[in-house]
Amino acid sequence: MNGRENRTRLLKKQDVVLIAILLALAGCLAAWFQLRPVEECIAVVEQNGQVIRRIDLDRQTQTEELALGGPYQVKLLVEPGAISFFSSACPDKTCIRTGKLTRPGQSAVCLPARVSVRLESGGTSGFDGVTG
Amino acid sequence: MKNQKKWKIGRALAFFAVVLVLVFAGRQWYIQQRDRQPFTSTEYAMGSYVQQTVYGRMGEDAASEAANAVQRLENQISWRMEDSDIARLNAAAGTDWIAIEPQTADLLEMALHVAEQSEGAYDPTVLPVSSLWDFGGENQHLPDEEEIETYRTFVDYHNLRVDKETSEASLKIHGAALDLGGIGKGAACDTAVQAYQEAGVKAGIIAVGGSIGLYGEKPDGSLWRLAVRDPQSGDDKAEEMGLLDLASGFVSTSGSYEKNFTENGKTYHHILDPKTGYPAESGLVSVTVVSDSGALSDALSTAAFVLGEERGMSLLEHYDAGGVFIAEDGRVWVSDSLEDAFQLTSDAYTLVS
Amino acid sequence: MRQQGYLNLSPRTQRIAFNGLLGTLALVLSAWEGMLPPIPVLPPGAKLGLSNLVTMYAAGTVGLGPALCIAILKGLFAGITRGFVAMLMSLSGGVASTLVMWFFLRLKGNPFGMIGLGVAGALSHNAAQLCVAALLTTPAIVWYIPWLLLFGVCSGILTGLVLRAVMPLLDKWRPIERDA
């Protein structure tokens, strides 16, 4: 492309190689995504209906507090394989009484603070919903 | 020279054909992945969280359409909402008939029907007494006995009259007041499932509080698996006591653990017996009802909780609904219709047949 | 032979005019692309990236500075017309692809032809946008990657082909001085 005399050619051998490598990479990735067992347990934290955090509980190695702030100063407790409401200034404390969530499908909500935590998994383990 | 050119063109064509095929394959793969990946959302309505998982191409649109429909329903039937059908009915109690939305009329009629069949164990006119307790509110407390006695006289579903033909309703006496909270969450599930159907999604599940609506078949073909919350769970772990595998329908649970408070060493839960004005004492801690209508499942779970195991089960039978009843002492009853669908997973309970 | 400038403008004016022309072309292309109906199977935010061909041409002819200016201009334009998120996406993609294409063009004996360059540009464009999207939203979009790779390859080939076709036209208007 540097001037008329030394014009870059349309297609070079390297181009084909590059494209072939990329396509192979795409194929491998697609195959990997397809075959990968989806077992992970992801905690999805939402505030006002917006996802604010996604935490992979299987990869969580230590116990930590997660302060979400807001008018009710909600704090979550994130542990390896479990998540729960640790403290909240809401009047009913239903969220704390829900206890620790450990399995995909479970959820806990603090209504006054409009914070919800649910455990998700792409696989077939767990359940689709909880009644009660 | 000419041949070389031809060969070059052929090679280019072959190259683009391969790319084309790959694009098509990639597109198919992408669509498949996308449909497998459901759209999930959480909103707040009906004084509770609304959680949706929708499978299929139009998932996101369907979920927001459903959420809007639930919000519209709330604006229409919540007594807390100014200008709602119910608020206007309550304000006009003891005066005249009020024109309401056909949907509200349908719900009122269903509420009335369940009230009659359960002989008042479910009563949509419980508001005068329930507002004294204010469960889950800022002011929840044990009301005076006299207060309860006074306001209990206003609680009687016979005061409610509904005319579906003209879409009108009235409350006969001044002081009577409606609260459709006992069927609102189930009705919201009905509305959402209808929205899924209209949007043409593959499948969807909506949970409004403890009520659940199921629509369609999941992409992997498996049944919907619902966990029935363990009434005793909470202090250290949120656990389920059993699993329900269902193809479709609506599920609602009334449990004494949902909203309660302790005063003077006694725990008071939010499911009131309209006859006494006090929390129902039927020996049950949780009733789960499966029905093909969300509003009905919600009303029936409340009614059956108040009625107790024996009369509750026969009420469900009357409505062709299934149920899982959990007693304080850990006994569990499952209706015949759910025998195959229900599976007990906790050792703390024993199935009684 | 290329026309020796237009009218009797000074080389500097010609350069400015030509850069302005390229910038306008990029805006027009990106606006036109915005008007196309969204391609339904694309992951949210992914674009054909036709305006890439302008930055590619600019990076190869008038130099890195003007090329980056065009990419930034395009990003600001997206910000005005489609909001802050679109601006971030457009800026990140445009700047990344410009840098990558310029880098390959500068390499001694540029290894790639126009198609290869287009593919490299399109992929860096997509990659940068995916990173921004992952930062802004959830990282769940990771499984778009194979499809984005494939899509990037195709749009890159398209960019290369189109540029090959329009290059003689652009060259006609290019001031002769700054060939480097």
C109-149 pLDDT, tens digit per residue, is 778 888 888 898 888 988 888 788 777 655 455 666 777 78
* In-domain check, residue A74: yes
CB-based contact C52:C67 (threshold 8 Å): no
**In angstroms, what separates the C-alpha of B38 from chain C's closest C-alpha?**
12
Residues A62 and A16 placed together within one structural domain of the fold: no
Residues B66 and B158 placed together within one structural domain of the fold: no
* Nearest-CB residue to C150 (from B23, B31, B37): B23
Q: Give the pLDDT mean for B322-338.
A: 95
Residues B212 and B299 placed together within one structural domain of the fold: no
Q: Which chain B residues are closer than 8 Å to A94 by Cβ?
A: 136, 258-259
pLDDT of A42 > 60? The answer is yes
Residues B187 and B60 placed together within one structural domain of the fold: yes
Residues A102 and A66 placed together within one structural domain of the fold: yes
Residues B131 and B240 placed together within one structural domain of the fold: no
C25 touches chain A (CB under 8 A): no
Q: Which chain C residues are closer than 8 Å to B23 by Cβ?
A: 150-151, 154
B31 touches chain C (CB under 8 A): yes
Q: How confident is the model at residue A48 (pLDDT cuts 50, 70, 90)?
A: confident
CB-based contact B349:B305 (threshold 8 Å): no
* In-domain check, residue A99: yes
Burial bucket for residue B19 (CB in 10 Å: 0-12, 13-18, 19+): middle
C167-179 pLDDT, tens digit per residue, is 888 888 777 654 4
DSSP-derived 3-state class of residue B190: helix
B201: left (phi over 0), alpha (psi -120 to 50) or beta: beta
* In-domain check, residue A131: no
Residues A73 and A117 placed together within one structural domain of the fold: yes
- Cα–Cα–Cα angle for C89, A56, A61, nearest 5°? 130
Locate B28 and state its tokens: 């198919």
A99 touches chain B (CB under 8 A): yes
* In-domain check, residue A127: no
Q: Give the pLDDT mean for B217-245.
A: 82
B205 touches chain A (CB under 8 A): yes
CB contacts < 8 A (B, C)? 23
Residues A20 and A57 placed together within one structural domain of the fold: no
* In-domain check, residue B110: yes
C147 touches chain B (CB under 8 A): yes
* Nearest-CB residue to B238 (from A44, A92, A98): A98
Bridge partners (DSSP) listed for residue B39: B54
* In-domain check, residue B235: yes
Q: What is the CATH number of the domain that holds B169?
A: 1.10.3980.10
By residue range, what is the domain housing residue B344?
223-353
* In-domain check, residue A113: yes
Q: Which chain B residues are closer than 8 Å to C157 by Cβ?
A: 19
Residues B261 and B351 placed together within one structural domain of the fold: yes
> In chain B, what are the helix, strand and coil shares in percent, each to the nearest 5?
40, 25, 35
What's the number of domains chain A is made of? 2
pLDDT on residue C59: 85
Query: Which segment of B62-76, B95-109, B200-214, B232-246 scores lowest on mean pLDDT?
Result: B232-246
Q: What is the CATH number of the domain that holds A62?
A: 2.60.320.10
Burial bucket for residue C47 (CB in 10 Å: 0-12, 13-18, 19+): buried
Nearest of C54, A2, C3, A107 to residue B240 by alpha carbon: A107
Locate A131 and state its tokens: 């009644």
Task: Provide the percentage of residues in chain A whose pLDDT is more than 70.
Answer: 85
Token pair 């309401």 is found at: B100
- Residue contact B240–A127, C-beta within 8 A: yes
pLDDT on residue B185: 95
Strands B39-45 and A64-69: unpaired
Residues B237 and B353 placed together within one structural domain of the fold: yes
By residue range, what is the domain housing residue A62?
41-121
B26 touches chain C (CB under 8 A): yes
- Residue contact A131–B48, C-beta within 8 A: no
Please spell the DSSP secondary structure of C115-143, one letter per residue.
HHHHHHHHHHHHHHHHHHHHHHS-GGGGG
Q: How confident is the model at residue A120 (pLDDT cuts 50, 70, 90)?
A: confident
* Nearest-CB residue to B27 (from C41, C143, C144): C41
A54 touches chain B (CB under 8 A): no
* In-domain check, residue B104: yes
Nearest of B129, B154, B151 to residue B268 by alpha carbon: B129
DSSP B222: P
Phi, psi angles (nearest 5°) of residue C51: -70, -10
Residue B28: closest C-alpha in chain C: C41
- Cα–Cα–Cα angle for B274, B278, B280, nearest 5°? 75
Residues A30 and A68 placed together within one structural domain of the fold: no
Burial bucket for residue B351 (CB in 10 Å: 0-12, 13-18, 19+): middle
- Residue contact C147–B19, C-beta within 8 A: no
pLDDT on residue B6: 72
B14-62 pLDDT, tens digit per residue, is 777 777 777 777 776 666 666 667 788 888 888 888 989 998 878 888 9
Architecture of domain C12-173: Orthogonal Bundle (1.10)
* pLDDT-flagged residues of chain C (< 70): 1-8, 37-47, 136-144, 176-180
Nearest of A37, A49, A42 to residue A111 by alpha carbon: A49
Q: Tell me which of B18, B21, B23, B37 to substitute to probe the interface with C (most C C-beta atoms closer than 10 Å).
A: B23
Tally Cβ neighbours within 10 Å of residue B94.
12
| Dihedral of the alpha carbons of A105, A110, A116, A117, in degrees to the nearest 10 | -50
B75-84 pLDDT, tens digit per residue, is 999 998 889 9
Strand ranges of the sheet holding B240-246, from the earlier edge strand across to the other edge: A129-131, B224-229, B240-246, B342-344
What's the number of domains chain B is made of? 3
Residues B64 and B212 placed together within one structural domain of the fold: yes
Q: ipTM greater than 0.90, yes or no? A: no
**In angstroms, what separates the C-alpha of A6 from chain B's closest C-alpha?**
22
Q: Which chain A residues are closer than 8 Å to C116 by Cβ?
A: 11-12, 14-15, 18-19
* In-domain check, residue B57: yes
pLDDT on residue B339: 92
B158-167 pLDDT, tens digit per residue, is 999 999 999 9
Locate B158 and state its tokens: 């016979």
Whole-angstrom distance, CA of residue B272 vs CA of residue A109:
24
Residues A89 and A117 placed together within one structural domain of the fold: yes
A35 touches chain C (CB under 8 A): no
Model pTM?
0.63
Residues A7 and A51 placed together within one structural domain of the fold: no
Neighbours of chain C (3+ CB pairs under 8 A): A, B
Show me where the domains of chain C are located. Answer: 12-173
Residues B279 and B144 placed together within one structural domain of the fold: no
- Residue contact B29–C147, C-beta within 8 A: yes
Q: Which chain B residues are closer than 8 Å to C151 by Cβ?
A: 23, 26
Residues B61 and B187 placed together within one structural domain of the fold: yes
Whole-angstrom distance, CA of residue B312 vs CA of residue B334:
12
Residues B174 and B186 placed together within one structural domain of the fold: no
- Residue contact B236–A16, C-beta within 8 A: no
DSSP A8: P
Q: Tell me which of A15, A103, A116, A131 to substitute to probe the interface with B (most B C-beta atoms closer than 10 Å).
A: A131
- Residue contact C117–A19, C-beta within 8 A: no
Q: Tell me which of C150, C157, C170 to substitute to probe the interface with A (most A C-beta atoms closer than 10 Å).
A: C150
B12 touches chain C (CB under 8 A): no
Burial bucket for residue C92 (CB in 10 Å: 0-12, 13-18, 19+): buried
* In-domain check, residue B346: yes
Residues A74 and A105 placed together within one structural domain of the fold: yes
> Which residue, B217, B243, B266, sits at the end of a domain?
B217
Q: How crowded is the C-beta side of B236, counted as CA atoms within 13 Å? A: 0
Residues A51 and A115 placed together within one structural domain of the fold: yes
CB-based contact A75:A65 (threshold 8 Å): yes
Residues B146 and B191 placed together within one structural domain of the fold: no
